Amino acid sequence: MAAMGARVVVFGATGYTGARTAEAMVRRGLRPVLAGRDPRKLTALAQRLGGLETEIAHVTDETSVARLVGRGEVLVSTVGPFTELGTPAVAAAVDAGAVYLDSTGEPPFIRAVHERWGPVAERSGAALLTAFGNDYVPGVLAGALALRAAGGGADRVDVGYFLTGLGRGQPFSRGTLRSLAGIATQPLYAWRDGALRTEAAGARMRTFDVAGRPRPGVTIGASEQFALPRLAPGLRTVDVYLGWFGRASGAVHAGARVAPLLSRLPGRVVATAADLLTRPVPAAPSGSALAGARSHFVAEVFDRTGTLLARTRLTAPEPYAITADLLAWGAWRAAEHGVAGTGAVDAVTAFGLDELVAGAAEAGIVEEPR
């Protein structure tokens, strides 16, 4: 769906991720509409990017968000934390029958898009591509490539996300840390025994061989638990491991035991605490911290006996560059060629595996030399 040359709107354009995404779109030749709540910031960004159109919209005014997008158009949302602020944009896309992409990495929101909004979107003709950035397109791509290489007999897929080469300074934006803090106490999910199961973040831990040495990761809910079982219906287990915590992974894993108790706290209390904890953090990550950073994505496919059938390793630039470039490519591809399917769809289903490989390569995501 989406008409050729469809209008593209970036909601949250003046935030760190939104501005980088708009810049990436302009480099690609798109002229997106920039939407947000601050007219002064919107005007400044629009002028810097060549005189783009702007629209005022705020998540507390759902009518203003609904006006952003029409049938067959493309709405890209970078407004987070998504569990608190993301619903109006999804609702607008669903109601309009539009194509929707977002930059979230928050498992509860991803699950809500698939389970709550996906069925409604199927009826309206909308296509929802949540978490279309560093979280979690590279892992879906790596998993799909590893499944193709495995051929048959796949029973389990493990996917790992890692960062190397970080320099001095703060490597994550305030928004990223705010999202992590906000979901730390919430129940997440895993694909176990052929079904989606609720479990705490960090419930399991394992190491992957990354950049020549073993690196630990802890489990997290992601897109792979929805996407990979669609691509390989016989899968009984899909685990996604986040390896950003380094030596602290053990503490995160141990914390999974108390997460069920913390999840009883009212959502407003958790949100307030997360906001207070992250408020002193700069809005943008440090350029020096990200200058030499490399992202690594590993997918391993096993059969029922635990025998490794295939392994795919991808490498890429730093996470924010990946997210901006993937969102720009996805919006361009949807606007010019449409997407396959309606409802909540994954990147492979929406664009095809070979097309996604090509698009990811344009964002710098490539297979590591063997």
Q: What is the pLDDT of residue 261?
A: 45
Least confident window among 19-33, 102-116, 161-175, 200-214: 161-175
Residue 274 CB partners (closer than 8 Å, separation 6+): 81, 178, 181, 182, 184
CB 62 within 8 A of CB 88: yes
Among 2-16, 18-32, 354-368, the range scoring the smallest mean pLDDT is 2-16
Q: Which residue has the tokens 């190397």?
A: 164
Which pLDDT value is given to residue 369?
76
Residue 63 clears pLDDT 50, i.e. is over it: yes
CA distance 194 to 286: 41
Lowest-pLDDT range, 97-101, 255-259, 348-352?
A: 255-259
Residues 6+ apart with CB under 8 A from 179: 80, 81, 82, 83, 104, 105, 106
Whether pLDDT at 228 is above 70: yes
- Number of helical (H) and strand (E) elements in the chain, helices listed first: 17, 16
pLDDT > 60? residue 299: yes
Categorize the per-residue pLDDT at 152 as very low, low, confident or very high, splitting at 50, 70 and 90: confident
pLDDT for 20-35, tens place per residue? 999 999 999 999 999 9
List, in sequence order, every beta strand (DSSP E) within 231-331: 237-242, 294-302, 308-316
pLDDT interval class at 185 (50, 70, 90): low
Distance CA 138, CA 323 (A): 10
Interhelix angle for 174-183 vs 267-278, to 10°? 150
What is the dihedral sign for C-alpha 263, 267, 273, 279? Answer: positive
Kindly report the number of other CB atoms within 10 A of residue 314's CB atom: 22
Cα 292 to Cα 165: distance, rounded to the nearest angstrom: 5
Binning pLDDT at 50, 70 and 90, where does residue 283 land?
A: confident
**Ordered domains of the chain (ranges, CATH):** 8-134+320-367 (3.40.50.720), 137-318 (3.30.360.10)
pLDDT at 323: 97
pTM of the model: 0.93
**For the chain, what is the mean pLDDT?**
91
CA distance 116 to 127: 13
